[in-house]
Amino acid sequence: MHNNFKRDDQMQVGLIGISGYGGTQLYQLLKHHPHIDNIHLYGHDLTKAKPVNQVIPGLIHESGTLVPYDANQIMAENDVVFFATSAGVTTKLAKPFLEHDFPVIDLSGDFRLKSGAMFTKWYHKQAPATAWLQQAHYGLADFSSAEQSNYIANPGCYATATLLGLAPVVMHQWIDPTSIIVDAKSGTSGAGKQLSEMTHFSNTNENLQIYKVNQHQHIPEIMQQLQCWNSDISAIQFTTTLVPLTRGLMSTIYVKVKTGISEQQVEQSFEQTFADKADIHYCHQKLPMVKQVVGTNYCDVGMVFNPVTKIITIVSVIDNLIKGAGGQAIQNLNQRFGFSLNQGLSLEPIWP
């Protein structure tokens, strides 16, 4: 059991929700982690076991088996469990793990927010109990440690790219806190596998589609973290666009600096903030493109200062399924169990 796990041991890991894009990517990453011995796969909606290669076309060469969900069995067989499920699922399934203080890394949005009312407002689903929400740790891995937490809420993909891009100027309080505008764009894998008219090939190909203006469910978690860094930030303007890519996410951020703040000060804040962040690459004024991070756990960030308008343009790019989901989940695993932060994440960009 997890209470007896030692850092030199080989881990037993449970994964619930492998059938989604995020869960499949997480499984592929876990397979190459040097401290993981076995990955046990569970389906929360299964009545009998199924070969994983019959459930997921992309895993046709796998020999593993997906077995029905049983919380007691999962806790008996594993040191930690990952949930890569849709919103609303862990609210219903997480109670036994919380009651037993069993290590959970949750890729869904159910436990990211500290307020149940906020969860219901933005996700339109029943919220977990407030006590459980307060207990969960928001795992923005590059800026917070999950070492002492047994319920880790993995951040959303848009939130990850946006927060990492904003961290230097918000933490240093260089900007007008009312001036944050975010124009974020993501490929179709971010929308999941569920079929819709919006993600139909004929609509997505050679097209751009703005969606969920002022309504995206990642807005409150972005605000929650920004206010931890600077309580003067009361709102952001946040827009998302679906672009004809499979993978990749770009968050373009516009902020106005306070009077008297120089370009040199802003530049130094980016350099200092990211100096010890192995997977965050500061590109200075050479603004990054999506292709340079696809297939990796990198977040590449660039910044351009306009001395006339005093507006900074920040561009932050990630692979939404790795840094925005499975890769960051592994970073949280590494922190929780005492491994180096980027263990198992030596990945190269898929280029071209």
Q: Quick one: tokens of 146?
A: 């999950």
Pairwise CA distance, residues 305 & 287, whole Å: 12
Catalytic residue among 157, 228, 283, 299: 157
Neighbours of 128 (CB within 10 A): 23
Pairwise CA distance, residues 186 & 203, whole Å: 15
Contacts of 136 (CB under 8 A, 6+ apart): 106, 111, 112, 149, 151, 152, 153
One-letter amino acid at 133 equals L
Which of the 8 DSSP states describes residue 323? I
* Cis status, amide bond into 352, omega within 30 of 0: yes
Q: Are 322 and 261 in contact (CB under 8 A)?
A: no
Whole-number Cα distances in Å, 94 to 44, 79, 106, 125, 196: 12, 15, 9, 15, 29
Q: Are 169 and 312 in contact (CB under 8 A)?
A: yes
* Cis status, amide bond into 57, omega within 30 of 0: no
Neighbours of 62 (CB within 10 A): 18
Q: Quick one: tokens of 298?
A: 């990198």
Q: Quick one: tokens of 83?
A: 């949930």
Q: Are 332 and 146 in contact (CB under 8 A)?
A: yes
User: Which residues pair with residue 209 across a beta bridge?
Assistant: 242
- 299 counts as catalytic: no
Whole-number Cα distances in Å, 330 to 109, 175, 192, 239, 311: 17, 32, 20, 28, 35
Pairwise CA distance, residues 90 & 109, whole Å: 9
Active site (catalytic) residues:
157
